């Protein structure tokens, strides 16, 4: 079984990070490396991360095992967390920006396959297993799946389904690969890590470069991920007013670059 690396970039997400990391730790894929990169948080994130290895090692629950012959309910202490995960925690004292935060994790990845999951999102339990199986079954370089957009109280705001891969539909019309993805780490050797001049559409740029370098993509038509919406005001994350405007501006530049590639076979300069 191939090792998979999940990079979890986080910044001031103490309210969401524990749930995100639990969803990573409890993935059904066995050989899993998790690299958490705190990009300079000033909330309770660093305290949580400092305590996390001890929590994983010692947390127990006492479920009912059976009822004995005398009618007594018998319980037994069992570990809460899987004990076979490779966990690395990297922290920075000051804000290093979202794209460098991702790159600090991706540069440390050792898995054959890798992905990144923002520290407020919720990968569903079979995400890694199903995407890795798709890569192995098809020989593709990059697998992506469908996703739910979820509110902070866990309710589903809407479902996002993506097209079967087509360069025009998924990269030139707009970015239609979503955030539930897994790819072969060797692609870093071909195109490098994320371009740190992009602070919002860094994944769009990265995966567009994968595609222009000849990577093969496969769509898994399953909902395997919950991406946080953070309510109608959206006071945090990618969709604050300033960051959302930047996301749209960067995405428009990238869509034009993809269209130039289709027209000429060459990439327009970033």
Q: Where are the domains of the chain?
A: 4-264
Instruction: Tell me what the mean pLDDT of segment 121-132 comes to.
Output: 98
Statement: residue 191 has pLDDT above 70: yes
Q: What is the pLDDT of residue 231?
A: 75
Q: What b-and-e string marks burial along 212-231, b requiring 16 or more CB atoms within 10 Å of the CB? A: beebebbbbebbbbbbbbbe
Match 């969803």 to its residue by tokens.
23
Neighbours of 196 (CB within 10 A): 15
Q: Which residues touch 10 (CB under 8 Å, ≥6 apart)?
A: 17, 20, 36, 37, 38, 39, 41, 45, 101, 118, 119, 120
Instruction: Tell me what the mean pLDDT of segment 97-108 comes to.
Output: 97
Question: Nearest Cα to 113, choosing from 191, 238, 1?
Answer: 1
Token digits of residue 203: 């994944």
Query: Vertex 103, ends 101 and 105: CA angle to 5°?
Result: 80
Question: Nearest Cα to 155, choosing from 238, 231, 223?
Answer: 231
pLDDT band at 230 (very low <50, low <70, confident <90, very high): confident
Q: What is the pLDDT of residue 235?
A: 63
| First and final C-alpha spacing in the chain | 38
Instruction: Tell me what the mean pLDDT of segment 49-77 comes to.
Output: 97
Match 């001049």 to its residue by tokens.
197
Tell me the sheet residues that pair with 225: 123
Between CA 216 and CA 218 the distance in angstroms is: 7
Q: What is the pLDDT of residue 133?
A: 98
Identify the weakest region by mean pLDDT among 53-67, 108-122, 226-240. Answer: 226-240
Statement: residue 154 has pLDDT above 60: yes
Instruction: Tell me what the mean pLDDT of segment 165-192 comes to.
Output: 98
pLDDT band at 182 (very low <50, low <70, confident <90, very high): very high
Alpha helices in 156-240 (DSSP H): 167, 187-191, 202-212
Statement: residue 270 has pLDDT above 60: no
pLDDT band at 45 (very low <50, low <70, confident <90, very high): very high
Q: What is the pLDDT of residue 242?
A: 84
pLDDT band at 243 (very low <50, low <70, confident <90, very high): confident
Instruction: Tell me what the mean pLDDT of segment 197-212 comes to.
Output: 97
Contacts for 263-270 with beta carbons within 8 Å, 24 or more apart? 267/209, 267/212, 270/195, 270/197, 270/198, 270/205
Token digits of residue 77: 């202490």
Statement: residue 134 has pLDDT above 90: yes
Statement: residue 268 has pLDDT above 60: no
Beta strands in 64-109 (DSSP E): 64-67, 73-75, 78-79, 86-91
DSSP 8-state class, residue 48: H
3-state class of 250 per DSSP? helix
Between CA 145 and CA 143 the distance in angstroms is: 7
Fold of 4-264: Spore Coat Polysaccharide Biosynthesis Protein SpsA; Chain A (3.90.550)
Statement: residue 239 has pLDDT above 70: no
Statement: residue 269 has pLDDT above 60: no
pLDDT band at 62 (very low <50, low <70, confident <90, very high): very high
Between CA 182 and CA 209 the distance in angstroms is: 15
Instruction: Tell me what the mean pLDDT of segment 177-183 comes to.
Output: 98
pLDDT band at 236 (very low <50, low <70, confident <90, very high): low
Token digits of residue 169: 């539909």
């Amino acid at each position: 079984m191939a090792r998979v690396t999940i990079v979890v970039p986080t910044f001031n997400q103490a309210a969401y990070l524990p749930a995100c990391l639990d969803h990573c730790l409890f993935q059904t894929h066995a050989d899993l490396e998790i690299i958490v990169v705190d990009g300079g948080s000033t909330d309770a994130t660093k305290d949580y991360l400092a305590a996390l290895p001890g929590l994983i090692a010692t947390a127990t629950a006492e479920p009912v095992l059976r009822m004995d012959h005398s009618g007594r309910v018998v319980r037994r202490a069992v570990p809460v967390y899987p004990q076979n995960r490779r966990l690395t925690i990297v922290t920075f004292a000051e804000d290093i920006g979202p794209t460098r935060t991702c790159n600090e994790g991706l540069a440390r990845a050792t898995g054959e396959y890798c992905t990144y999951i923002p520290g407020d999102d919720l990968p569903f339990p079979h995400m890694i297993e199903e995407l890795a199986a798709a890569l192995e079954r098809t020989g593709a370089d990059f697998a992506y799946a469908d996703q739910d957009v979820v509110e902070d109280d866990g309710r589903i705001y809407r479902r996002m389904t993506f097209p079967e891969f087509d360069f025009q539909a998924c990269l030139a019309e707009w970015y239609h690969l979503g955030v539930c993805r897994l790819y072969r780490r060797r692609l870093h050797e071909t195109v490098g890590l994320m371009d740190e001049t992009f602070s919002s559409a860094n994944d769009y740029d990265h995966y567009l470069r994968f595609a222009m370098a000849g990577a093969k993509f496969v769509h898994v038509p399953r909902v395997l991920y919950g991406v946080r919406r953070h309510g109608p005001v959206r006071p945090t994350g990618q969709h604050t007013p300033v960051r959302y405007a930047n996301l749209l501006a960067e995405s428009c530049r990238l869509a034009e670059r993809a269209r130039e590639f289709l027209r000429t076979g060459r990439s327009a300069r970033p």
